[in-house]
Structure 1
Amino acid sequence: MTDLRDDTEITESLIRSLLRDQHPDLAELPLREVEGGWGNQMWRLGDELAVRIQRMDTDFDHQLKERQWLPLLAPRLPLPIPVPMRSGAPSERFPKMWTVMTWVPGLPLDQASITRSEHAADTLAAFLRALHVAAPADAPADTLRGGHPSDLTNGFDDFLGSVDVDVIGSDVAAVRAVWEDAVAAPAWTGPPVWVHGDLHPANVVVEDGTLAGVVDFGDLFAGDPAVDLAAAWLLLPMGAAARFFTVYANADDAAIRRARGLAVLKCLFLMLMGQNGDRGLPGGKQAWGPAGRTALDRVLADVGHESASTPDA
């Protein structure tokens, strides 16, 4: 196989050549690049399809998981998700994985906003209730993302120490307190449930001011639902987390504490993705930094509200 570098430029010409080689009946459909994407790049293919092609991601398992499990999950989820339709194999022309999937209409939340807060909270809660069911024994596991926050403390310390001081400001102590509370929370003791694993503003789409679809299931696994419950702060506007948890109804205090800590961890990741220079992350996305900072404000505001509402002992 030709040795192509990981940063091989992905162009319209390359996509068309791959389609002509492996799916010639699709090769002449209109094709345009979709803004966004980090691990994978998306290209709109005709009106109803998209090509999902590896960019920073070099792990074939991510797209293989989507091919295996998304056709089974999609029919019972109340929001559209991408469904794999054709498989693209690595080749001499391009040594990575690519898949033709159904197109999920809408704008990514990092390029749009939610204006119908209550509707979005209800929609997210309904989606996660439908997703968070016991997974089969052969479902993929993820010992990193799926672990208790106490297993992720080194990553938290690295992220917190790498975020620019002028971005994190005076909130370091408050952020650490949220994390330490999550580390101290009891672990998930239920059966492993299906978890999206990477819900953040670039992985959901918005139409008419509310959530309209969920994309990028490359981190799909069976584990602790608190990983996804962090989306209450990562995705929803200020103050909407309380309604989300009321409608979701299945999260106890320990799950909310773990979710809050995992939300802080994801906020730091997003802030690093938007950071310039050596202290940022490779392939970074500048829009993700402000999204992470705004979500962090929501977490800390909720913690502050709870503290103010709790009477002194």
Structure 2
Amino acid sequence: MSDHRTPQQDGQGPAHRSGFVSFVGRPNAGKSTLTNALVGSKVVITSSKPQTTRTVVRGIVHRDDAQLILVDTPGLHRPRTLLGERLNDLVKTTLAEVDIVAVCFPANEKIGPGDRFIVKEMSKVRRTIKVAIATKTDLAEPDQIGNHLLDIAKLGVETGTEWAEIVPVSAKSGDQVTLLEDLLVGLLPEGPQLYPDGDLSDAPEEAIVAELIREAALEGVRDELPHSIAVVVEEMALREGRDADRPLLDIHANLYVERDSQKGIMIGHKGARLREVGTAARKQIEALLGTPVYLDLHIKIAKDWQRDPRQLRKLGF
């Protein structure tokens, strides 16, 4: 019988660790920005509009000694629509399946009822290791950060949550991001590499492209739109008949809104707004995929899709 043990198991160095970490927090707590800072490439959309993440995108951090898979969940919130309920179900099933749940508390804001709601929900998931992260420390003064860390510790005591670590970070300035990565890796179980080298995310490229288009569409739009935009990539393929050194990726996508008035906002005066969205999205997609892109965008109306189970299914929820 052959010996399948690795050098690590023969005591020649630390064992390889691998596992899943989920960032949770109320909308806009800095979860997506932190995921991108750790992965070092843009895989999760970040927008100044809260409540923009819908799919569970995993960012993957590859190291010689570990593989850290980041599961980005939608911000937990009290559901107001059918979509909201589906998002909360998604969060709860995700939390039970990961190795570590890391709760993000923005350092520039006081801990409020939203944070308490999340930590209470999270304390129901027994086996998972809990970590607290004070995000956005670049927006807070040192004494404000100190008080914030004490408040996080106190919230842990009040909810019966044991924090394995409480770490202040700024994903924007990069402060303590490496330290956070090391701490998370140290808490992971020993295990093999789960994804091939070079993978940044296990979300299919169409899903990432749809998210990047949605991000571009959300920037600078009035507040009533965020929830009402869904993007479906109808077709994505390399254009035939082009030389291998001059590829062009054709992408045809539909942007769904709920009402005529929203369609008008998205198209803008003489189509100017839609052109801006297309240009911004195209640049992001090209940067991520490393291929020139021809992007064809159309706006469609799906009346009240957030409350209609059939349309939610069609749009991928």
TM-score, length-scaled by structure 1: 0.26
The answer to which structure has the higher strand fraction is 2
**Higher CA-based Rg:** 2
